Amino acid sequence: MSVSPSLNPHVSVDCVIFGFSKETLRLLLIKRTVPNAITELDDSYYALPGDLVRDNENLDEAAARVLKELTGLTGIFLQQFQAFGDPLRISKAKDRAWLQGVRQDPDARVITVAYMALIDSNQVQIQPGSFSKEAVWLPIAEIPELGFDHNDISEGALLALREKVQIQPIAFELLPEKFTMSDLQTLYETILERDLDKRNFRRKMLNSGVITALPEKQHGVSNKPARYYVFNRNLVENGGLGFVNLKMEGSFTLFS
């Protein structure tokens, strides 16, 4: 059992990857298999995808590498939200058994920098590849006990997402390129965990300038076909709308 030098922990990145399908917010998790499985424990469990930061890369590059290896995607929404550094964040038996199979110094402290990714889960081909033999999308209401402190990290990501969707137009990253107003409202209601008034939502979303109606409507639906919209990505990213505030109902406003 090697011991790392005092004051020199490992540094990793972990990615909380959000997707949205079947009206449910989901996390992309990988399955870890404990080598030389300890009989009294299950031999596998779920964790966030992550890896140690390499010598020659910065934190954003490390997170983008993890995401690309798992999803094949580049250039998607990926934002650092918090570092986690509890000295005891790796103390569960399963975590230690898993680390003994993959690392020379399983007892070294690991401080991790957590990232949040938002992707259209319907467009992604999961490539577990070097991280795991299996990766799954699990509804956030059904996340089991994860490795390390990954439940805390996931919870932190969800709180950060709720805050961010109120001040940045980022929720669109979770939708297909074209979507209905109902799709969009369901997404916001799911993230915020509250119902929103339909007429107000529609009016304000259109007034904000962040979406544009297409001439196209749904095909082959039994009910009245709904109109499709697109996110004005170029306009928003070029600052054409200025500061966009997606404020919750019932909050106070000082500077409107």
Min CB(193)–a copy of itself separation in Å: 13
Among positions 1, 7, 102, 141, the unique one binding a copy of itself when judged by CB under 8 A: 7
- Applying CB under 8 A, among 34, 135, 187, 246 the residue interacting with a copy of itself is 246
Binding part of the chain for a copy of itself, among 25-33, 124-132, 174-182, 195-203 by CB under 8 A, reads 195-203
Q: Would you list the DSSP string of 56-106?
A: T--HHHHHHHHHHHHH---S-EEEEEEEE--TTSS-SHHHHHHHHHH-S-T
239 is an interface residue for a copy of itself by CB under 8 A: no
Q: Which amino acid is located at 91 in the chain?
A: S
Using an 8 Å Cβ cutoff, are 92 and 101 in contact?
A: no
Q: In this structure, are residues 191 and 162 in contact, taking their beta carbons and an 8 Å threshold? A: yes
Closer to a copy of itself by CB, 126 or 156: give it: 156
CA angle 63, 64, 65 (to 5 degrees): 90
Residue located via tokens 């986690």: 84
CA distance 169 to 70: 25
Site string (88-107) toward a copy of itself, x via CB under 8 A: --------------------
Backbone angles phi, psi at 178, to 5 degrees: -115, 140
Residue 17 contacts residue 30 (beta carbons within 8 Å): no
Residue with tokens 């004051």: 7
Taking the complex as a whole, how short is the minimal distance between the CB of residue 134 and a copy of itself, in angstroms? 26
Q: Token pair of 82, please?
A: 């918090």
Question: Could you say whether residue 8 binds a copy of itself (CB under 8 A)?
Answer: yes
Residues 20-59, mask of contacts with a copy of itself (x by CB under 8 A): --------------------------------xxxxxxxx
Nearest alpha carbon to residue 128 among 216, 225, 240, 47: 47
Q: Does 198 bind a copy of itself (CB under 8 A)?
A: no
Cβ proximity to a copy of itself, 42 vs 249, nearer residue: 249
Q: Which is nearer to a copy of itself, 39 or 252 (CB)?
A: 252
133 versus 162: smaller Cβ distance to a copy of itself: 162
Q: Rounded distance, CA 176 to CA 28, Å?
A: 17
Comparison of 42 and 197: residue with beta carbon closer to a copy of itself: 197
Could you give phi then psi for residue 150, rounded to 5 degrees? -70, -20
Distance CA(77)–CA(119), nearest Å, equals 7
| Residue 166 binding a copy of itself, by CB under 8 A | yes
Interface residue with a copy of itself, options 21, 33, 43, 85 (CB under 8 A): 85
With CB under 8 A as the contact rule, the residue among 32, 94, 109, 150 that binds a copy of itself is: 109
Residues touching a copy of itself, count (CB under 8 A): 55
Question: Which residues are near a copy of itself by CB under 8 A?
Answer: 4-11, 52-59, 80, 82-87, 108-109, 111, 113, 163, 166-167, 196, 200-201, 204-205, 207-210, 241-256
